């Protein structure tokens, strides 16, 4: 009997360990990528080899996911994903909410919004969801008034009241921090503000942590019920990652769990 048990143990030791599921996940540089690096060791315990790939814009991560070059991405909020699906026909689904990055209006020239003069030039993002989000922030703060019923994607053409006669220019979201050298103020997503050395708490106007702009993990629709997706979500929405976000970003990034 002892010889049999010894043989069984030896055979078991000779078997290769179960291979981890490789999950290539796309993210934008800055907080999204940093958080995913914190997710990595937790995902490994769930049998996932999480490989973070960084993209410098908001378009390619969904293209890469839809094309099978990624298994997941974590960089966008639901309105942006919905807009991409409607425009491009992607078969993608969100499987979990992650973190919220309150939008801010920043300025290198003025320390407060009250100091911003009439006729000032304001840069906003040139994609419908983030540009619209910036306009909704300005409306929420009483700066402009938009047409009723514009939803989450208003454009500059939807402004019906602009008492300060602000001029709006539209630039790529990743370029909004750089535009601060040329404009009076700019709307900047937090994931681009942080790497550019902008502190979200220094924004002269800041979005309230409410509404539909919590970010999500997206996967291909065909994969959404696979076991690795559940394991990825549990790894991300773990106490360890929550603690990392709170200590690292000190209120600039808010967790949804």
Percent of the chain whose predicted confidence (pLDDT) is above 70: 91
Q: How would DSSP label each residue in 239-255?
A: HHHHHHHHHHHTTSSEE
189, 125 in Cβ contact below 8 A?
A: yes
In 3-state terms, what secondary structure has residue 2? helix
When pLDDT is averaged across residues 111-127 and rounded to a whole number, the result is: 97
When pLDDT is averaged across residues 192-211 and rounded to a whole number, the result is: 87
User: For residue 213, what are its two tokens?
Assistant: 């702009």
From residue 90, alpha-carbon distances to 58, 70, 72, 84 in Å are 14, 14, 13, 7
When pLDDT is averaged across residues 95-121 and rounded to a whole number, the result is: 96
pTM of the model: 0.74
Question: What is the pLDDT at residue 109?
Answer: 98
Question: What is the pLDDT at residue 4?
Answer: 43
- CATH 3.90.1820.10 corresponds to the domain 104-206: no
Q: Residues 6 or more apart from 211 whose CB is under 8 A from it?
A: none
Percent of the chain whose predicted confidence (pLDDT) is above 90: 80
In 3-state terms, what secondary structure has residue 98? strand
Question: What is the pLDDT at residue 155?
Answer: 97
Cβ density class 60-89: b for 16+ within 10 Å, e for less: bbbebbbeeebbbbbbbbbbbbbbbbeeee
Tens-place pLDDT, residues 154-168: 999 999 999 999 999
Helix or strand run (H / E) with residue 66: helix 60-66
Which residues of the chain form CATH 3.40.190.10?
Answer: 19-101+212-255, 104-206
Residue-averaged pLDDT of the chain:
91
Question: What is the pLDDT at residue 201?
Answer: 84
User: For residue 159, what are its two tokens?
Assistant: 């402004």
- CA 187 from chain centre, in angstroms, equals 15
48, 23 in Cβ contact below 8 A?
A: yes
In 3-state terms, what secondary structure has residue 199? coil
What homologous superfamily is domain 19-101+212-255 in, according to CATH?
Answer: Periplasmic binding protein-like II (3.40.190.10)
pLDDT for residue 39 is more than 90: yes
pLDDT for residue 29 is more than 60: yes
Q: Return the half-sphere exposure (C-beta side, CA atoms, 13 A cut-off) of residue 90.
A: 24
């Amino acid at each position: 009997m002892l010889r049999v048990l010894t043989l069984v143990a030896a055979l078991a030791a000779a078997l290769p360990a179960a291979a981890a599921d490789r999950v290539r996940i796309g993210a934008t540089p800055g907080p999204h990528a940093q958080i995913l690096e914190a997710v990595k060791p937790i995902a490994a315990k769930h049998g996932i080899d999480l490989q973070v790939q960084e993209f410098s814009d908001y378009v390619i991560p969904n293209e890469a996911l839809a094309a099978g070059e990624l298994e997941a991405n974590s960089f966008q909020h639901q309105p942006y994903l919905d807009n991409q699906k409607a425009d491009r026909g992607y078969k993608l689904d969100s499987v979990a909410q992650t973190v919220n990055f309150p939008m801010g209006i920043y300025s290198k020239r003025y320390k407060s919004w009250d100091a911003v003069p009439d006729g000032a030039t304001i840069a906003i993002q040139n994609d419908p969801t983030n540009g619209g989000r910036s306009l909704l922030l300005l409306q929420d703060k009483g700066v402009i008034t938009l047409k009723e019923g514009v939803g989450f994607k208003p454009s500059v053409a939807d402004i019906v009241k602009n008492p300060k006669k602000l001029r709006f220019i539209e630039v790529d979201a990743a370029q909004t921090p750089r535009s601060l050298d040329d404009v009076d103020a700019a709307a900047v997503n937090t994931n681009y503000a942080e790497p550019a050395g902008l502190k979200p708490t220094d924004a002269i106007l800041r979005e309230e942590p409410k509404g539909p702009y919590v970010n999500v993990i997206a996967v291909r629709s065909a994969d959404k019920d696979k076991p690795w997706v559940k394991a990825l979500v549990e790894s991300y929405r773990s106490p360890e990652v929550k603690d990392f976000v709170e200590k690292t970003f000190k209120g600039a990034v808010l967790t949804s769990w």
